[in-house]
Structure 1
Amino acid sequence: MVQTSTKFVTFDDFITWYPNTGQRYELHDGIIIEMPKPTGKHSNVTGFLIEELIFNIKQIGKRGIWTIPRESIVKPSNEKSGYEPDIIILNQELIINEPRWESESIIENAESVKLIVEVVSTNWRDDYFKKRADYEEMGIPEYWIIDYAALGGRNFIGNPKEPTVFIYQLIDGEYQVTQFKGDNCLVSPTFPDLDLTVKQIVQVGQ
């Protein structure tokens, strides 16, 4: 993760500036950040999860209604940040209310989102602190942190560190979290019939 400038910029400035180079950038509290290129293991885990989620979307009869875009930028309520999630599931029935989706792939309304997934990399603090807080404030109903390589702090994943998945569910405006390890099967409010363990995710990332 590389800070590209110390100059404070607005979200709109960030979108206007965003270059078409294939490199990913995010806006963190008014500062443009160049995101690290994902490793092969990170990409494998992300791809595996997308396949699993698409399968479950079909299983519950939401094919064509819930979709996973190739890329998008989420604009939190604070107007100072902009994130490009590893995975986001959008509700196509509500995305028509997004004024900037058609032209800029920008999501501003939590109602458009069913689920956001962040696969942890070296900038793990962003997933655990900054994004979690902003997604909660925005009202994103469900947020997963996939720490398949046990990179997060020991106060989150234990000592010794152990691969962990955190599922945050928005209840009365606040996130309630459940953590899963090893052979634990993930329990998701959005996908109640999900048959996926942390161990399976970790094996893909080895």
Structure 2
Amino acid sequence: MIQALFTDNYLEFEEFIEWYPASTEYHYELHNGTIVQMPKPKGKHSQIAGFLMTELTLEIRRLKLPYFFPKECLIKGDRFSGYEPDGIILDKNIIENEPLWEKQSTLLSGNAIQLIIEIVSGNWSDDYALKLDAYENLGIKEYWIVDYLGLGGRKFIGNPKQPTLTIYSLENGEYQSNQFRDNEVIKSTIFPELSLNTQQIFRGDL
């Protein structure tokens, strides 16, 4: 369950990272100045995240790209927001310019980010609206929403609702979306040779 931890005042991002516990069983995000407690991924959610991390890491190695897939990462969305995505791919050559990366695994800009993955299993509106806007404003090149249970609103995944993987690609500063369902092979601009279909991703298994 996602739980808001209300404070007397809106927190700014810098205050949030100072507050963030060094050791905790939860993930925390900052949504419009309010700390939100988020349970760590479990079950199928965790399986899909691990599967994508493995497959994309293999593709990075095969193509000898200067990218890596960190276990955890906190991103500054704006002055009052910060997010921990389910998956993120960073450029090794650019991450060196992030002043908080080595000590806090925290990014203050979107420059080093090649791809972000969010897996829908709770509050779907955060992934389809709040984070979509933030990642677009940060200039994140590609953003995947893996809605393996078909939880998103009908205006986002259609009617009737069904499991859907949406890939948002940045073009001229704005996201353009492509959706994949059934047994379709996904198409990524970051990994154009990747050969994964939606059923494999939704199962979290080849």
Aligned amino acid, residue 30 of structure 1: G
Larger strand share, 1 or 2: 2
**Conservation of the 8 A alpha-carbon contact between 2:25 and 2:39:** no
1:57 maps to which of 57, 60, 68: 60
1:4 paired to 2:5? yes
Structure 2 spans left out of the alignment, 5+ residues: none
**Which residue number in structure 2 is paired with residue 95 of structure 1?**
95
- Displaced runs of 4+ in structure 1, greater than 3 A? none
1:45 paired to 2:64? no
**Conservation of the 8 A alpha-carbon contact between 1:115 and 1:140:** yes
Normalised TM-score (structure 1): 0.94
C-alpha RMSD of the superposition: 1.2
For the residue of structure 1 that corresponds to 2:93, the secondary structure is coil
Counterparts of 1:1-206 in structure 2 under 5 Å? Answer: 1-7=2-8, 8-19=10-21, 20-62=23-65, 65-76=66-77, 78-204=78-204
1:157-202 CA-to-partner distances (Å, cap 9, x unmatched) read 2222111011111111110111111111110000000100111112
Identity of aligned residues (%): 48
Aligned-pair distance for 1:36? 2.8
**Conservation of the 8 A alpha-carbon contact between 2:52 and 2:204:** no
**Counterpart Cα distance in 2 of 1:73 and 1:37:** 14
**Counterpart Cα distance in 1 of 2:107 and 2:90:** 9
**Counterpart Cα distance in 1 of 2:76 and 2:198:** 29
For the residue of structure 1 that corresponds to 2:26, the secondary structure is coil
Aligned amino acid, residue 112 of structure 2: S
For the residue of structure 1 that corresponds to 2:83, the secondary structure is coil
**Counterpart Cα distance in 2 of 1:96 and 1:39:** 32
